[in-house]
Amino acid sequence: MTREEAIGIEHECARLVAQYANLNDAGDHDGVANLYAVDGRMTRPSAPDDWIEGREAIRAAFKSRPPRTTRHLCTNVVVEVISATRASGECAIALFLSDSEVRVGKYQDLFERTPEGWKFAERRGSMTF
């Protein structure tokens, strides 16, 4: 793999992180779910050991939440390319809720190249404070 190919993978994966935050804040639950591989899985930062498995289960989990106003800020995004089809990453998050304190945590991600392009294979959230 060339350096340019690795940089392209890093860019695509970092873009998923940003899209996740933007779509989540827009309440676009279908868009968020579609960022995951069909068999992808995730945990919310507030429940880091409770896996939600499969794109459709992720979609249902997001749609089951009551509407709310949020702003997710993702920073310190670092992506490590494993191969032409796999990468891992980490980012810090700050979640601003209209009726609550700011929550700070992180996401640890596994990305995979699928026929649909780069997707989250796994996204594990955790809270720092």
| Phi, psi (rounded to 5 degrees) for 101 | -70, 165
Task: Report pLDDT for 11.
Answer: 98
Domains in the chain, start-ordered, CATH in brackets?
A: 3-127 (3.10.450.50)
Task: Report pLDDT for 19.
Answer: 98
pTM: 0.95
List the chain residues with pLDDT less than 50.
none
